[in-house]
Structure 1
């Protein structure tokens, strides 16, 4: 009997709704987002294994090490670790609970972050996370336009993740999705799977963020320079679009007529991310395979 293919389309569909897509996302778009997420996770795994002591055992340390060039995303992960410890939950609310941080968690992963944090910037949580703040504002605008039943549905979507309950069965499902080869020599430690679930969640979040920016960009019909709209986007500066004074989307239409994010909008996101602005300096160095990965 053929083994059933593992898919996370249901979870991704709810996540995209929770991040501002239509309450009924386009199935083709969801499938494309799943493919992109899976591709990026596999790339991250292969890159992280380069730092493994035997090239086969993947721990959380190697995955976190890949984030070392992005202090903002490292800080967001530190907040996730704190929230996980504070709430006594597992990846159900990955990265999306915002609380006052009076102390840092002292778990295994946090100890590693402190070890590589020579300047203290990874654990300095005083600076506002603009991307997280924008997501919260978007969710707040949406929730204000919902009735009670719709709000409950929206809350369930906001709590969706790649590992809604911390059980070995759920983590095994995630592992098999990423590495379906039964003869694979890769060993995934428990904390590595938790980090990968977090990376997958953040990947879907950023793809949805960027797709909404692509849609906003396309609406600038009044701009005489509309042919050059979007020229300021790049793999590292995509989030700056919010600073150019574009009007907010009509979030009240999320459950009353907003068209779902299309496949073409996701493809445009990937085109812009993979083709950043010319003139980017890398000083002759080769970019790592993970340079376009949203989670890093």
Structure 2
């Protein structure tokens, strides 16, 4: 009988260490994008669940599977985005996993492939494979085909990403309805113009890397005026296209007012507070608006 020696045993504590390090790694990949990926997706899952005879027994399963799905939605984008932007991240975001040395480039790529396979499998299981594939094609072109270098293609990819996100969120609960399409298309399509808000904070890096963002192409001040007007009009659009058709009551009027107020605050900040730190806060307010409009769907639908 031969006894193997010199090979460390896979003890429970060893497995726990591996699990802990993987959780930490994925958290560091995803942490800045959770408010734009996992949270909106889960809010629209809840809106779909609440829209017709909510089944309380089904809710825990929806929360678990929805969280898994949208965590993978976030992971597949974030890892590929950071693989594509590793050189720039060494200068601007050295705490990210790749520039900090927490994971090798090969290790990140292997994890991305695994996440893509798992994402497709979960999407198939939940009956939303078409939206999963739409997001996988979009993020691959966005990050590896350099489409993100031009503002038009970058913003268009965000529109497709939002449609894939919200259509999957609703469809994993129940079939899509005309009302659901209205609530997912309004916030999704407006990304075509409003997503350029994030480019105001990164102008120096975009110039250095020769990206064709809105403020680089048209100038900073004209872009700020355009974005401010777009946010002011967004307040009118959400009121007319989302709240009025579903009927107004005290709850929806309150949410309508909050969303309009956020749009006007962002518009004012874009014109009056013109520095990268302030623009970052303004963009984060936009992600919160995105979450709030989907939370409003829980009440309105």
TM interval, short-chain normalised: under 0.3
Query: So what's the TM-score if we normalise by structure 1?
Result: 0.27
Which protein shows a greater Rg? 2
